[in-house]
Structure formats: structure tokens, C-alpha cells
């Protein structure tokens, strides 16, 4: 009888532990879904030479990463191969590179 009680207790505890783990994980996922934070992390990762701005090749890497993260219109840009058009739109000062400030200007503003 004692062994049955222990086994029953284990069967009841395991789903509770799993539920707690899922709730905790969902909170972490919600934090990770901050689009601006994801874009900024993708920007830093794409900036392979670390100069703080993206050349066309690095910009393509940013678009691909944002598409993978399902951010904005990146998937559409990738699907249609519209990297050059997107780069030229983002390069607002026409210096041949895209700085974080040029990306940040186009992010949705919170109220």
C-alpha cells in the first residue's frame, strides 16, 4: 500500500512540475518576442566587421535573420529577393551603409 501511495504521489507531482516549467518558459519566450530587441540582436550579429553599420552583404544577413524570426516584412523581402530595394530604402543618408539609427527610425514607436 505504501508503494502505491509513493507511485501515485510521483504521478501527481510530475504534471505539476511540467506545468510550472511551461509557464516559466512561456514568460521567457514572451520576453524574447520583443521585436526591437530581436532586430537589435540580429543587427549586431549581422555586423560582421563590428563597425556599427551594415554593408549590403551584412544587410542581407540582417534581413534573413529577421525573416527567420518572423519580424516585420523581412520574410517578404527575402521571398522576393528585394534586398537591394530594401537596402536603398533603409540607407537614408545614402552613404552606402545602414547604421542602427537608420533602422531605429523605422521601428514602430510605443505610446
What does pLDDT average to in each consecutive run of 10 residues of the chain (111 residues)?
57 45 42 85 98 99 98 97 98 98 84 51
Q: Residue 102: which residues within 8 A CB-CB, separation 6 or more?
A: 90, 91, 92, 93
pLDDT for the residue numbered 22: 42
CATH 2.160.10.10 correct for 35-104? no
The per-residue pLDDT for 60 is: 99
**Residues in CB range of 38: below 8 A, 6 or more apart:** 32, 66, 69, 71
pLDDT of residue 27: 41
Domain regions of the chain by residue span: 1-32, 35-104
Question: So what's the pLDDT on residue 106?
Answer: 85
Query: Given this model, what pLDDT does residue 95 score?
Result: 98
- Residue with C-alpha cell 543587427? 43
- Residue 21's pLDDT is 44
The reported pTM is 0.69
Is 46:58 a contact under the CB 8 Å cutoff?
A: yes
Amino acid at each position: 500500500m505504501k508503494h502505491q501511495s509513493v507511485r501515485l504521489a510521483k504521478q501527481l507531482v510530475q504534471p505539476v512540475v511540467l506545468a510550472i516549467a511551461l509557464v516559466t518558459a512561456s514568460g521567457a519566450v514572451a520576453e524574447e518576442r520583443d521585436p526591437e530587441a530581436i532586430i537589435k540582436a540580429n543587427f549586431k550579429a549581422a555586423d560582421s566587421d563590428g563597425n556599427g553599420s551594415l554593408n549590403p552583404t551584412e544587410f542581407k544577413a540582417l534581413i534573413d535573420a529577421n525573416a527567420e524570426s518572423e519580424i516585420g516584412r523581412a520574410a517578404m523581402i527575402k521571398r522576393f529577393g528585394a534586398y537591394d530595394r530594401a537596402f536603398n530604402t533603409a540607407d537614408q543618408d545614402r552613404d552606402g551603409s545602414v547604421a542602427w539609427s537608420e533602422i531605429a527610425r523605422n521601428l514602430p514607436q510605443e505610446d
